[in-house]
Each structure stands twice: as C-alpha cells, then as structure tokens.
C-alpha cells in the first residue's frame, strides 16, 4: 500500500504557484520523498526528491517539514503544460529493497 | 542518451493468448521495473530486476513473469490473457549503484495492451 496521502485534485491559475501537499506521517528516517508526474498517455516523469532538507531544481521546489511527516511540491509559475497527475512517493534506499509504490496522486489542472 | 524504449507501442490480443513485451533501458542502467496502469487501479508495481535477478515482486498472479538479459534489456510475459489484463504496461530503468541510496526512475511510453 502507498505510504502517502494526497488530495485527489487541485486547480491552479496559469502563472501562479502550484503548491501540492503530501502527507507521509509514517515515514522512516532513511526513506526519501520522491515526486513524479504523469502527463496523459505518457510514462511518469521524475521531478525531484529529498531526504531531510528542502530541495530545488529547474522544475520545482520540495519543502519537507522538520518532522518529515509531510511535504509540499511547489511549481513556481505553473503553465498549461504542467497539467498532469502528480505522485508523491516514499521509499528507502534502493539497496535496502522495498518497492516504489505509486498512490492515486493529485490531478493538477492549470487553467488560463 | 536514448530514453527507455518499449515495444510494441500497441498490442491487441484475445483471451487465452500469451504476450511478451520488451523494454530497453537507458544505456548503463542496470535496474528495470515494470508497472501496470489501469483507470481503476492506477499504477501497480509488477516486478523489478537488477543485474538479471528479480529483486522485488508485486502482488500479481504467476501468469505475469519477467526476465532480464545480460545487456539489461528486459521482457515481461503474460500467459493465458484475461480481459482484465487490458492495461498500459510501463517499464522504468534506473542507474542504481551510485552509492547514494536514492534513485531516479526513467519511464518509457508504455505498451497499451488490449485483450478482446
């Protein structure tokens, strides 16, 4: 079973920041938080990951709370092309086994 | 680098038949995972291979099997197809072994299987 809880859907106005929350209250100390997104009819695309610290890359920012029980993915200036299903996943180090389990994700609709 | 390549892109089969799907990972990637995606169940993990060994397996019946070759290419096979096997089958590769513990999965576009 997925270890994360996300809202089913969200709307965002084009050009505004999209803030996608994720709850992972049972996360273990060595588990990473990953975000992927899936645009219709395509395979999921890696966005960002983090362990304890906040992270930023060219696509997004990831804010992880101090207790690590929740996180927020931020798309700073959402465009229509960001309309997709966003998945938040937690998983331990790859060399400790464990499966990458996708939940139902958040369907983000970016509107003009 | 070329991305993850899955063939064929579309496939139509009838109940009772078997099917083999192919996945070529990104060059240098040794881990290949397979997922089934349906509208009702979402993305479900099938299995993962690393250096020709199955390392993880999801909760699917034995009709679903896979293998990985020495060049990291992978195939999955579904025998005795059922209508419920109609789905998008996705393959992902990753470059595990960096020692950093995290991994990025790179997904292919999938094979859309329709069972009639």
What is the pLDDT of chain A when averaged over all its residues? 91
What span, in angstroms and rounded, lies between the C-alpha atoms of B110 and B15? 21
Q: Which residues pair with A20 in a beta bridge?
A: A73
Which tokens go with A27? 């996360």
- Residue B26 three-state SS: coil
What span, in angstroms and rounded, lies between the C-alpha atoms of B101 and A93? 4
Confidence of residue A29 (pLDDT cuts 50, 70, 90): confident
In angstroms, what separates the C-alpha of B26 from chain A's closest C-alpha?
A: 14
Tens digit of pLDDT for each residue in B10-60? 999 999 999 999 999 999 999 999 999 998 888 999 999 988 999 888 899
How many other C-beta atoms can be found within 10 angstroms of the C-beta atom of residue A3? 17
Backbone angles phi, psi at A34, to 5 degrees: -115, 150
Higher-scoring residue by pLDDT: B66, B55: B66
DSSP state of A30: T
Confidence of residue B99 (pLDDT cuts 50, 70, 90): low
What span, in angstroms and rounded, lies between the C-alpha atoms of A38 and A86? 6
Size of interface A-B (CB pairs under 8 A): 58
Say whether pLDDT at A87 is over 60.
Answer: yes
- Residue A45 three-state SS: strand
What span, in angstroms and rounded, lies between the C-alpha atoms of B76 and B82? 16
CB of A51 within 8 Å of any CB in chain B?
yes
What span, in angstroms and rounded, lies between the C-alpha atoms of B29 and A16? 37
CB of B42 within 8 Å of any CB in chain A?
yes
Are residues B105 and A46, on separate chains, in Cβ contact within 8 Å?
yes
Confidence of residue A30 (pLDDT cuts 50, 70, 90): confident
Say whether pLDDT at B67 is over 70.
Answer: yes
Confidence of residue A1 (pLDDT cuts 50, 70, 90): low
How many other C-beta atoms can be found within 10 angstroms of the C-beta atom of residue B1? 7
Check residue B55 and give its pLDDT. 85
What span, in angstroms and rounded, lies between the C-alpha atoms of B13 and B114? 6
In angstroms, what separates the C-alpha of B14 from chain A's closest C-alpha?
A: 23
Mutation to test the A interface, candidates B43, B91, B96, B104, most A Cβ within 10 Å: B43
Are residues A43 and B33, on separate chains, in Cβ contact within 8 Å?
no
Q: Which of B106, B46, B44, B42 is nearest to A106 (CA)?
A: B42
- Residues of chain A with C-beta less than 8 angstroms from the C-beta of B92: 43-44
- Residues of chain B with C-beta less than 8 angstroms from the C-beta of A87: 43
Check residue B101 and give its pLDDT. 65
Tens digit of pLDDT for each residue in A35-76? 999 998 789 999 999 999 999 999 999 999 999 999 999 999
CB of B40 within 8 Å of any CB in chain A?
no
């Amino acid at each position: 079973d997925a270890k994360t809880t996300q809202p089913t859907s969200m709307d965002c106005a084009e050009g505004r920041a999209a803030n996608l929350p994720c709850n992972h209250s049972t996360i273990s100390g060595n588990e990473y938080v990953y975000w992927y997104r899936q645009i219709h009819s395509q395979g999921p695309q890696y966005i960002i990951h983090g362990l304890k610290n906040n992270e930023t890359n060219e696509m997004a920012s990831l804010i992880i709370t101090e207790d690590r029980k929740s996180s927020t993915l931020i798309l700073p200036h959402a465009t229509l092309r960001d309309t997709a299903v966003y998945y938040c996943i937690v998983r331990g180090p790859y060399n400790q086994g464990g499966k990458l389990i996708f939940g139902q994700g958040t369907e983000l609709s970016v509107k003009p | 680098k070329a991305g993850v390549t899955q063939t064929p892109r579309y496939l139509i089969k009838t109940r009772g038949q078997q099917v083999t799907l192919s996945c070529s990972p990104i060059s240098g990637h040794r881990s290949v995972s397979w997922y089934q995606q349906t509208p009702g169940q979402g993305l479900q993990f099938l299995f993962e291979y690393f250096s020709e060994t199955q390392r993880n397996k999801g909760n699917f019946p034995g009709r679903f099997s896979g293998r990985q070759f020495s060049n990291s290419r992978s195939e999955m096979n579904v025998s005795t197809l059922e209508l419920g096997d109609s789905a998008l089958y996705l393959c992902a590769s990753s470059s595990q072994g960096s020692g950093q513990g995290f991994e990025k999965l790179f997904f292919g576009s999938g094979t859309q299987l329709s069972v009639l």
